[in-house]
Chain A
Amino acid sequence: MIKKISKFFKGLIKKDNNVIFHGSDWKDYSDFEFEWLEIILTKNIIKKEDILSLLKKFKIKFLEENWEDCVSTEEMGNVLINDVPKKELWLGVTDILSKKYADKLNFDEAYKIWGKLSNYSRDDLSKIYKEISKNKDSSDFVNDKNFSENEEFVKGFLMSFIIEELCKISKKEAIKLLEK
């Protein structure tokens, strides 16, 4: 009898510690939440060891031999976004950011900047982007008038590029750049 009760409770504990994920519902994210998470997990903002720690935490592994060496961080990040529900992934990512990347923009700060950028004109956004961009091809692309007659999508591109670049540098540098 005692054995049976003990087995029952062990089973309960095991279930609690082993939440099974069935994929993420992207409708849980706002547009900017999704965009920010994608930047953090797939654009080399955080180190590979941190992406690996998230995969380990959620018990996801690739099936190839030596996958930890041969799978890119972008591929790993994409699988995390696909398979881990928002609540768990969000907590995991923000926990890593606050503990190891406190010098970088957090979500609330990035969202605040996003809000300000959305009120800027295309010319202002182009100036900011030129100032901070290290990716010349992208810069040429967004400024190429043959591509960009639609104000709305050019602004969308520029805002994404700017946020991505700002997430790569320190919070102090980001604020300094925007003050210029």
Chain B
Amino acid sequence: MRTLTSLLGHEVETESGRRIGRCHDLRGEIRGSRLVVTGLVVGIRGVAEHFGLGGRGSKPTHVPWDAVVKIDGERFVVRDGTELE
């Protein structure tokens, strides 16, 4: 079992080692009676969003869950070529 608090704060890097930022939150979607994770909230604007200050402008803050290749210790590794959306 994973817990939310054990996933928050991890670094997010691509497979070739490029750092994208830190994961401040997990974005989810309620589908019927299920709550499915759709992405990682990352970066400076991600911090703002984590404190509830987002919503303005459309700067990218999030990495889709599909791009995550593995969770390696305290690190999310995402596919090469992944950018914030």
Partners in one complex: no
